[in-house]
Amino acid sequence: MESYLKENFEVEPKNPTEEALKKWRSAVWLVKNPRRRFRMVADLAKRAAAEKKRRKIQEKIRIALYVQKAALQFIDAANRTERKLSEEVVQAGYDIEPEDLAYIVRSHNTKTYDFHGGLQGLARKIKVSLRDGVLSSDISKRQQIFGYNQFVEKPQRPLWMFIWDALQDMTLIILMVCAVISVGVGIATEGWPKGMYDGLGIILCILLVVVVTAVSDYKQSLQFKDLDKEKKNIIIQVTRDGTRKKVSIYDLVVGDIVHLSIGDQVPADGIFIDGYSLTIDESSLSGESEPVNIDKKKPFLLSGTKVQDGSGKMLVTSVGMKTEWGRLMVTLSEGGDDETPLQVKLNGVATIIGKIGLAFAVLTFLVLTARLILTKYISNELLKWSMNDGLALLNYFAIAVTILVVAVPEGLPLAVTLSLAFAMKKLMNDRALVRHLSACETMGSATCICTDKTGTLTTNHMVVTRLWVAGDTKEIKSKEKLKSSISEKVLTVLLQSVFLNTNSEIVKDDTGKTNIIGSPTETALLEFGLLFQNNYNQETKNMKIVKVEPFNSVKKKMSVLVALSNGKLRAFCKGASEIILNMCDKIINEDGEIVQMSDKQRKAITDVINGFACEALRTICLAFKDLETGSTSDNTNNSSDIPESNYTVIAVVGIKDPVRPGVKEAVKTCLDAGIMVRMVTGDNINTAKAIAKECGILTADGLAIDGPEFREKSDEQLKDIVPRIQVMARSLPLDKHKLVTFLRNELKEVVAVTGDGTNDAPALHEADIGLAMGIAGTEVAKENADVVIMDDNFKTIVVVARWGRSVYINIQKFVQFQLTVNVVALMTNFVSACTSGSAPLTAVQLLWVNMIMDTLGALALATEPPHDGLMKRPPIGRDVNFITKVMWRNIIGQSIYQLIVLGILQFNGKRLLNLNGPDSTAVLNTMIFNTFVFCQVFNEINSRDMEKINVAKGMFDSWVFMIVMVCTVTFQIIIVELLGTFASTVPLSGSLWLASILMGAVSLPVGAILKHIPVESSAHHGHDGYEPLPRGPDLA
C-alpha cells in the first residue's frame, strides 16, 4: 500500500508541481461524491483560466503605465473638461467625481493631474488637510461617496448548497431510488402503511446523514472564511485628526494620509506627498520587475505594489474596486489553495479501500442472488417469480450499495480538512495565523527552528541603559546627573543625531501624551533623547533633511544628510557598532572638539562595545560628519550620496532588550521534542551569545559563528560545522537563506524559519515552514510566509509545532478507527451473505454505522486538542509510512476480536443468549447490530492513543469527543428502542443491553493487550512518531 501511495499520491507540502497535482487526480478512483470530496482541493482548470485572466489584466496595466504615448495624454488633457458634478457629490461638499479622481492615478495621467491643480488642488477638492489628514467624523461620508476599501468577494455559500452537495453522493442517490421502488413494491405487496417502512427508513437515514454532513461542512467553511479575512487584513499607519494612528486596511478612506516604509504594501491608489528615496516594486500589478522611483514628478502610487526602499507619505485617491489591484484580486482567489500532502495521501488510501469495497459489494450481491436462484432451483420454482422475489433482489442490491457506502471511506480526506480547520481556529486564538494549510501538517515534522532574536526571543521593549560618550561610560539612572556630566557641545551633536537620524515620529495623542511611532530600537533612542530635550522640535526646526538612507538588514546602518542653519551640510550615521566604528577616523572629546582617533582609543571603544554586548545589551554607534564643500541647493540638485567614511564617533549606546518570560521553557520543550533551535540574528556576536545562553539555546558543545565567517566556509567545512551551529550573529538575509538551504538539501532537515524584513522573503519561501512576525514583520515577509506569528513570541512557534503534531496524530487515530470499522462491516456482511443468505446489518443500520465512523468519528478524533506528551516524542520523519506498523497491529487485532464476537453471535447467538419464539431472529439481528455499534464506540475510545494503555487520560477535557460519544449512544438507544419500524430493530431487554455494552467494552482490555505486542521499528530514516526520544535538552 505504501509504495502505491508514494508512487501515485505524493505531493510536496510547498509549491507542488502541476504534474504531481494532475497525477494524483488521475489516480483517484471510485469517488462517491466528487463535489464534496474535492471541495477543498484546487480546481486546476479554474486556476489556469484565472491565471490567463490575470496576465491579461497585467498586460493591460503594463501598457497603460509604460507604453502610453505622450501624445495621447496631451490630446486627452486638451479635450478633457471638468465633468459636471453629481448631486450626491455636491451635497457631500466635494469638488471632484470619484471616477475622475480614480482615473488620474490609474492612468498615470500627469496632464489631468495638473489640470486639477496637482497635489494641493486635489487635496482642496476632496476637502482634506495634507498636514492633519481626514477628520474621523467625515469617514462614513467619504465611504458613501468614494467607496469602501474592500474587494468584491464570492458570497458565503448558504447551508442549503452544502445540503445539495452532500446529496450528490452517487451511492446515496442509488439507495434513494431503491428506497422509492421499495416503498412502491412494499405498499403493493404488504399494503399501507406496513409496506413503506423499509424504504422510508432508508430515506430518513439518508436525510439524517446528509444534514449532519452538510452542517459539519458549512461550519468548516465559515471558519475558513474568517481566517481568509484575517489573512488579508493589514494594519496601516495614517494621519487622522492631526495625529498618527494605526487603522485596518478595510477602514482606509479617500483623503487618508498614509505613511509608507520598506516592505509595506501600498494599501490604495494615491499621490505621493513627500518622502525620501521611495522605490516601488510594481511587478505584482504590471509584471514589470524594474523598480520605480517615486517623487514629485512621478507621484502616482498604485494599490497592491510594494515599497522596496525608502519611506514616504501618500494621499489616498481611490479605494477598493476602483483600483486596478481590486480588479486583479478577484482573479487571485479563483482556483482555490493547493491541497495538503495528507489530503492527497488519504485520497489514495480511500481509493485503495474503495476498490476492495467494490469487490466485496459485487461479491455480496452475486452470492445473495446466487443463493436465491439456487433455492428456487432446488424447489423447482426457477420460472416462478413473485413481487416478493423482486423485493428480495432489490434488497440485496440495496445491501450491496450500502456496503459500498461504508467501504469507500469518503470521510478520510475530509477529516484532514476538518482537523486543519479546527487547528487553524485554535491557533488563531493562540496568536498564530496559518496562511497555508499544509504548514500545519509540516510543522509536526520540523526538526529545526531558525529563529530571530529581537522581538521573538526578547520582549522588543527596549530601553537605553548604558552610554559611552567622549571617552566615558555612564549608567542611565539620574537625568540631572547625566546631563551635568556631558558638555553642551557634545550634547547638542548627540541630540541632533538622535532626533534627525530617525525613521520614527514623536506624536501627541488626544490626551496630549507624547507617543513614539516607530521601531523599538528607534523608540528607545528617542526616549533617551527626550530625557535631555523635551522640546525636540528645537533641535530640528532650523535644519532641513536633504536625503535619507533608511536602515536595511544588509548595510545594518541608517544615514541622513542635513542642511544646517548656516547653509552647510552635515551627515549623521547610526547602526551596528563595529560597522559604524570602521567608518570613523575621528572622535569628539569631552570639550566637544573633533580630534583624530588613535589606535588606543579605537581599541578602547571596541572594548566598550564588547563589554556592553557581553551584558546582553544591543549596541548602537552614533557618528556624524561635516561636509566641507557644496551648498544645500547644489547638493540637493545633484542628489549627492551620503558619505561612507571619515566620520566622527559621537557615542555608543547600550540598549537592554530583556528575554521574554517563558522562552527558556519553550526552548527546553523544543529540545525535549527533538527540535534543534538555532538563533540567527543581525546583532553583535557577544550580545547574541549572552542572550542564547540565557534562553538555553547555546550549550557547551554548541557553536556560535559570525555571518562573514560563515560565508567564507566551503561546502565540506559547512557539513562539519552546520550541525553544531546554534548561534549565527551579524548575519545577512542571504546567510539565513544559505543556512536554510543547506539544512534542507544537505542534512535533510525539516526547517522552520522566522523572518520579519523584506530581505527575509527568500529564506521564508525556501524553508519548509516560513514564520513571519505579525508585529515587526513587513507585508512582504508575511506574504512569503506560511504562518504569521501575531505576537512575535517564540512560545507561539512551539504552540504551532504542538498543533502540527496533533493534526498528524489525530488523522492517524481516525484512519485506524475507520479502517477497523471498514474491515469488520465488510467481512461480517460478506461472510453472513455467503453462509446464511442474508446480511445481519440492513441498509439503514449500515448508513447509521457509516455516519458514526465518517462524520461523527472525524469530529471526535480529528479535533482532539494536543497534549504535553506530543512534545516528548521525536519529530515525524519526512518519508515515514503514514499507516505505521503500530496502526496495523491495532487494526488487525481489534478487527479479529470484533469478527469473533459477531461471528459467534451470528452462528450461535440464539443458543448462547437463550432466544426462543417467533421474533428470536429479529432480536438476534438487533443484538448483532447493537454489539457492533458498541464495539465501535469503545474502539473510538481505544483509538485516542495508539501506544499508551491509559486511553481515558484527557478524554473529559475534549468536549467535542464527549459530545459525539453521548450523541452516538443516545441515538443508538432511540434507533433500537423507538425506531424499530424503520431500522429493522426490536427493543432489547436490560440484560441484552448490558451484554452488548460489555462485549463492546472488552475492546478496551483487548487494546491494552495488543499494545504489549512489540512491533518492528520503521526501516525508514527518521522516526515514525512512536519511538522513545533518544535525546533531551542536555544532549542537544
- Cell numbers that stand for 710 in this block: 560563515
Whether 452 sits among the annotated catalytic residues: the reply is yes
- The candidate with the shortest Cα–Cα distance to 148, out of 316, 264, 301, is 316
- Residue 469 belongs to what H/E stretch? strand 463-469
- Per the listing, cell 445540503 goes with 163
DSSP E strand boundaries for 125-220: none
- 509-521 as b/e: b if 16+ CB within 10 A: eeeeeeebbbbbb
Label residue 542 exposed, middle or buried (CB < 10 Å: 0-12, 13-18, 19+): exposed
| CA–CA gap between residue 306 and residue 90 (Å, rounded) | 35
**Within 13 Å, how many C-alpha atoms sit on residue 119's CB side?**
20
- How far apart (Å, rounded) are the C-alpha atoms in residues 788 and 772? 5
The active-site residue, picked from 452, 657, 672, 786, is 452
Q: Kindly state the cell numbers that stand for 215.
A: 452542517
Q: Which phi and psi (to 5°) does residue 97 adopt?
A: -75, 140
- Alpha carbons 464 and 288: distance in angstroms, whole number: 44
Look up residue 525 and give its amino acid: L
Beta strands 269-281; 300-301: pairing state: antiparallel
Q: How far, rounded to the nearest angstrom, does the alpha carbon of residue 371 sit from its chain's CA centroid?
A: 56
Phi, psi of 934 (to 5 degrees): -70, -30
Task: Give the CB-side neighbour count of residue 999, counting CA atoms within 13 A.
Answer: 26
DSSP 127: T
Q: Indicate the burial class of 908 (C-beta count within 10 angstroms; 0-12, 13-18, 19 or more).
A: exposed
Q: Using an 8 Å Cβ cutoff, are 528 and 498 in contact?
A: yes
Tally of residues, the chain: 1036
Q: Name residues whose C-beta falls within 8 Å of residue 468's C-beta, 6 or more positions apart in sequence.
A: 474, 605, 608, 612, 651, 652, 653, 654
Among 621, 701, 687, CA closest to 659: 687
Q: How far lies 60's CA from each of 56, 67, 129, 287, in Å? A: 6, 10, 34, 11
Give pairs for 989-993: CB < 8 Å, separation 24+: 992/913, 992/923, 992/927, 992/930, 993/930
What dihedral angle (degrees, nearest 10) is formed by the CA atoms of 680, 685, 691, 693?
100
H/E segment holding residue 293 = strand 292-293
Peptide bond into 13 cis (omega under 30): no
E strands, 664-784, where? 676-680, 703-706, 725-729, 751-755, 769-773
**Amino acid residing at 314:** M
Extended strands (E) in 499-593 = 505-508, 514-517, 544-549, 557-563, 569-576, 584-588
CB atoms within 10 A of CB 769: 30
Give the integer Cα–Cα distance in Å for 645 and 580. Answer: 9
703 forms beta bridges with: 725
Reduce the DSSP state of residue 517 to 3 states and report it: strand
Question: What does each C-alpha distance from 346 to 221, 759, 905 come to in angstroms?
Answer: 20, 37, 34
Q: Which residues are catalytic?
A: 452
